[in-house]
Amino acid sequence: MKTMKAWVLHDIGEIHFEETAKPEPADNEVLVEVKAAGICGSDIPRIYRTGAHVHPLIPGHEFAGQVVQLGKNTDAGWLNRRVGIFPLIPCNHCIACHQQHYELCRSYSYLGSRRDGGFAEYVAVPEWNLIKLPDNVSYRQAAMMEPMAVAVHAMRNALPADADRRRTIAVCGFGTIGILLTMFLTEAGYSDIYVVGNKDFQRKTALKLGVEEDHFYDKRDGDVREWLMAQTDDVGVDVFFECVGKNETVTSAVMCTAPGGTVQLVGNPASDMLFEKNIYWKILRDQLTVRGSWNSSFKHDREDDWCYVLDKLRGEKIHPEQCITHSLSLDALEQGLLLMRDKTQEYVKVMTETGA
């Protein structure tokens, strides 16, 4: 039996770097040698608090690499190709799949949470989930395509391509998704952007991205609603991106959105969401649109979110590597997991890289 090194999650909190069976690609699959893999915020509760859907499991859904082996019924042109990977594996039978809204699949599988993912030397990946990388796109950039596409999906959900670039926008929560979202909003031509964070380095990052200094607010300084309403002459913003997933920030989003505006929910919920009566009234009386955003669109079509991201990377209009604060070898990945769990250092994106 051929083996490889991987981080295997056996149960909640029991993740070990160990020798395990090297996967053999099945029909319509290829074997990818992982060159870079990012740790997602969702990996932390999966590993340390809730567990995964199955155990043992190799986590990791943000990764890129090179195709080194082909299964049956795959295109020979993939061999040795540099690739990014869409981690959601659709069922291809439900209504959403028939409409090519694969991100809404009712019976999906998922690399890194429902089947083995990228915290390993090799991963078996369905051919359909591959996207070819241009020569000028690095593996570390490609490993960030998944969170980039999530940010783009939220942006395009709330702001159609022909939207007025003078619209006022708030981004609340300045972690990986909030930073990438701000990158894409700025690249798309939006400039009146208000950012809410809670760390000094987030302010510095926002300024580097072109956010005006007085448009960044550290919520440790006081009430977000009071500040944002003062900035907008008590009107509120046209679009509010909630990238935190907490009751208090969803409430702020509703209260700080202008009449007829849009609240775009992006953050994974950290608790139950409970609307007080006055918040519900605000939605009704101001005729707000409250939208959810989940995952990203991928259908091998130039109009999907992954192709949008790849076009920006190819054209060197977006530089996600600015978000990478820690780069580790695969055998040191646990250092990154613990750093993120215990918040012992400031970080944005923690990544493992082979150096190849």
pLDDT of residue 167: 97
Tell me the β-bridge partners of 351: 38, 327
- Per-residue pLDDT band at 1 (split at 50, 70, 90): confident
What would you report as the CA-atom Rg of the chain, rounded to the nearest whole angstrom? 21
- Per-residue pLDDT band at 42 (split at 50, 70, 90): very high
Count, residues in the chain: 356
Cis ω before 56 (30° cut-off from 0) = yes
- As a whole number of angstroms, the distance between CA 354 and CA 5 comes to 13
Tell me the β-bridge partners of 57: 9
Give 282-332 pLDDT, tens digit per residue: 999 999 999 999 999 999 998 999 999 999 999 999 999 999 999 999 999
Tell me the β-bridge partners of 195: 171, 216
Provide the b/e sequence for 42-67 (b: ≥16 CB within 10 Å).
ebbebbbeebbeeebbbbbbbbbbbb
pLDDT of residue 149: 98
Residues ≥6 apart with Cβ < 8 Å to 350: 38, 39, 324, 325, 326, 328, 336, 339, 340
Give 71: exposed, middle or buried? Use CB within 10 Å, 0-12, 13-18, 19+. middle
Tell me what the mean pLDDT of segment 151-178 comes to: 96
Q: How many CA atoms does the CB half-sphere of 137 hold within 13 Å?
A: 26
End-to-end CA distance of the chain: 26
Tell me what the mean pLDDT of segment 150-169 comes to: 96
pLDDT of residue 271: 81
Taken in order of first residue, the domains within the chain and their CATH numbers are: 3-136+316-353 (3.90.180.10), 148-292 (3.40.50.720)
Give 238-290 pLDDT, tens digit per residue: 999 999 999 999 999 999 999 999 999 999 998 888 889 999 999 999 999 99
Nearest CA to 47 out of 136, 141, 132, 112 is that of 112
Tell me what the mean pLDDT of segment 341-345 comes to: 95
pTM: 0.96
Tell how far CA 347 is from the center of its chain: 15
